[in-house]
């Protein structure tokens, strides 16, 4: 029988107190009514301390999010009680026999549809109904991924758009859950309302965390859904587009995608929206960002790289459909998502190709002296 504490900041670091919420509505209440509201919100708040052999319920006040929220409920055993048990357990002589702190964790993602998000139109099962038989070997999967187009395209299938530089092997539900946990936001579909909001945010230099992403095409259709990691204003964000591939690996869905980092915005007549983002030419850095955001959260089962994207250099770059230059080692990141958190020590390599390493690709010879050998000339091993 243990007392547990609810780790509220795991749910959201910007959590609100009951009195803070009450003050937000102060203008709508008389003083006497406001006092009642304040007390009501206090009484309805979820308690932090959960005594042994009890259950509790209540509300936690968190900032509004759009599209979906990752919910992380963590209960930590009372460390004082653990210390008491340790002192009382005089018979224990080894650390593995000593009482240890328990942590219980419950996590899930709540979709928050509003009729405008692209993921709301996703029907993974329907698309699977017309798929080819599943691929059952890793080498066959590698060949299929290397045989894909180098890049996305426009609606007519003409021209090369942004490079197809990522592949995620997982169900759509697992992707949404893992990426929401890693801090990625969902995106609105392109509508008059969302485009108007996008333009307004660009002109006022304000954030639009679920801003629409322009359509690119693969497998004869626009992306099935897109996600983004927004910054403080609309001109800067990481974003990715994902398409369900026409084949599976064993029982898992295969999602082919494009990821890039937006570093500016410009007017254009070459896009489905009147404005478009300018991508960071070092596209491998965005690819690496995705991998690291998933690794840091423990969402990766295994990963590797395959050829198939466009290889280009800073001196001889490739260009996307709106004329933005980019360079890359030409490889695709392939990530198998883990349904449960995994430490880095348990992550495995696909043992395919290796990345050249983002950042170094864009550096000049002058940066070579930034990396030095730790071995001195006189450290040679004896013969």
- Contact (Cβ atoms closer than 8 angstroms) between residue 119 and residue 225: yes
Q: Which residues contact 219 (CB under 8 A, 6 or more apart)?
A: 243, 245, 246
User: Chain-centre distance of CA 363, in angstroms?
Assistant: 27
> Is residue 315 packed enough to be buried (19+ CB in 10 Å), middle (13-18) or exposed (0-12)?
exposed
Which tokens sit at 243?
A: 């398409």
Q: What's this model's pTM, rounded to 2 decimal places?
A: 0.78
**Mean pLDDT by groups of 10 residues along the chain of 383 residues:** 89 90 85 85 94 92 83 89 79 54 81 72 71 83 96 90 96 82 80 77 74 86 87 75 92 93 74 72 93 92 96 93 92 94 93 86 82 70 52
Nearest to 60 by CA among 45, 70, 39: 45
For 231-266, letters b (16+ CB in 10 Å) and e give eeebbbbbbbbbbbbebbbeebbbbbbbbbbbbebe
Supply the pLDDT for residue 382.
52
Q: How far apart are CA 36 and CA 204, in angstroms?
A: 39
- Contact (Cβ atoms closer than 8 angstroms) between residue 333 and residue 358: no
Q: How far apart are CA 190 and CA 188, in angstroms?
A: 6
Q: How far apart are CA 335 and CA 352, in angstroms?
A: 12
Supply the pLDDT for residue 340.
83
Number of CB atoms found within 10 A of residue 39's CB: 13
């Amino acid at each position: 029988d243990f007392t547990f504490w609810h780790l509220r900041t795991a749910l959201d670091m910007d959590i609100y107190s009951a009195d803070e919420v009450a003050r937000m509505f102060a203008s709508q209440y008389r003083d006497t009514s406001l006092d009642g509201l304040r007390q009501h919100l206090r009484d309805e708040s979820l308690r932090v301390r959960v005594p042994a052999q009890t259950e509790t319920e209540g509300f936690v006040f968190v900032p509004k999010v759009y599209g979906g929220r990752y919910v992380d409920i963590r209960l930590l055993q009372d460390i004082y009680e653990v210390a008491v048990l340790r002192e009382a357990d005089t018979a224990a002589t080894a650390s593995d026999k000593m009482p240890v702190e328990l942590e219980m964790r419950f996590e899930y993602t709540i979709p928050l549809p509003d009729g405008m998000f692209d993921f709301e139109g996703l029907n993974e099962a329907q698309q699977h109904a017309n798929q080819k038989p599943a691929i059952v070997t890793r080498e066959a999967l590698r060949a299929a991924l290397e045989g894909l187009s180098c890049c996305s395209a426009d609606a007519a299938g003409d021209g090369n758009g942004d490079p197809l530089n990522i592949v995620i092997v997982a169900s759509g539900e697992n992707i949404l859950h893992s990426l929401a946990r890693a801090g990625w936001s969902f995106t609105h579909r392109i509508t008059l309302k969302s485009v108007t909001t996008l333009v307004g945010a660009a002109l006022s230099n304000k954030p639009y965390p679920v801003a629409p992403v322009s359509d690119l095409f693969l497998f004869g259709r626009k992306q099935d859904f897109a996600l983004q990691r927004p910054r403080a204003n609309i001109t800067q964000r990481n974003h990715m587009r994902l398409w369900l591939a026409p084949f599976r690996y064993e029982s898992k869905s295969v999602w082919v995608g494009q990821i890039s980092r937006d570093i500016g915005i410009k007017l254009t007549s070459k896009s489905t929206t009147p404005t478009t983002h300018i991508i960071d030419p070092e596209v491998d850095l965005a690819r690496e960002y995705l991998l690291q955001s998933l690794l840091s959260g423990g969402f990766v089962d295994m990963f590797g790289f395959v050829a198939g994207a466009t290889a280009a250099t800073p001196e001889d770059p490739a260009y996307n459909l709106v004329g933005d230059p980019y360079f890359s080692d030409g490889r695709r990141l392939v990530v198998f998502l883990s349904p449960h958190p995994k430490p880095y020590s348990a992550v495995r390599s696909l043992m395919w190709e290796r990345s050249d390493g983002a950042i170094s690709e864009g550096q000049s010879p002058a940066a070579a002296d930034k990396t030095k050998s730790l071995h001195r000339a006189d450290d040679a091993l004896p013969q």
